[in-house]
């Protein structure tokens, strides 16, 4: 059963400007070290950062757990390339009691925008 859905769109330039203005202070506040390293291996790191920022916002909307620190929400890619939200540590504890058993994430981006869509499921999936 679907508990919630969330969608968010972020302008790449907004993330680029924040990163250039605030540097590591901004990046470390919003992204995990793994996300930063992954994105800066790309030819267009700010596009990848923007879509991850959108994923964090969309996840908060879908999960309905209130405001979470962005660093507690980590977007990683499976070996297949599929993006997922890693459910570990503080995020796992925040989701306890919500009934959320599965989260689906879809990301898309182009030069100017990154968009993310999240579906949070609850209950027994069997």
Catalytic residues: 61, 109
Q: Residue 115 and residue 29: Cα distance in Å, rounded? A: 20
Give ∠ CA 10-15-19 in degrees, rounded to 5.
165
Strands in the chain per DSSP E: 2-11, 74-77, 83-86, 100-109, 113-122
Residues linked to residue 75 through DSSP beta bridges, in sequence order: 85
Task: Indicate left, alpha or beta for 80 from its phi (over 0: left) and psi (-120 to 50: alpha).
Answer: alpha
């Amino acid at each position: 059963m679907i508990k919630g859905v969330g969608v968010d769109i972020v302008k790449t330039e907004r993330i680029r400007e924040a990163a250039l203005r605030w540097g590591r202070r901004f990046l470390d506040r919003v992204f995990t070290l793994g996300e930063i390293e992954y994105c800066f291996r790309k030819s267009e790191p700010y596009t990848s950062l923007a879509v991850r920022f959108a994923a964090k916002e969309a996840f908060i909307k879908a999960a309905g757990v209130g405001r979470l620190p962005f660093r507690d929400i980590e977007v990683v890619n499976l070996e297949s390339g599929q993006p997922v939200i890693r459910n570990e540590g503080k995020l796992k504890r925040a989701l306890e009691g919500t009934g959320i058993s599965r989260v689906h994430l879809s990301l898309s981006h182009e030069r100017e925008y990154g968009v993310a869509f999240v579906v949070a499921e609850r209950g027994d999936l069997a």
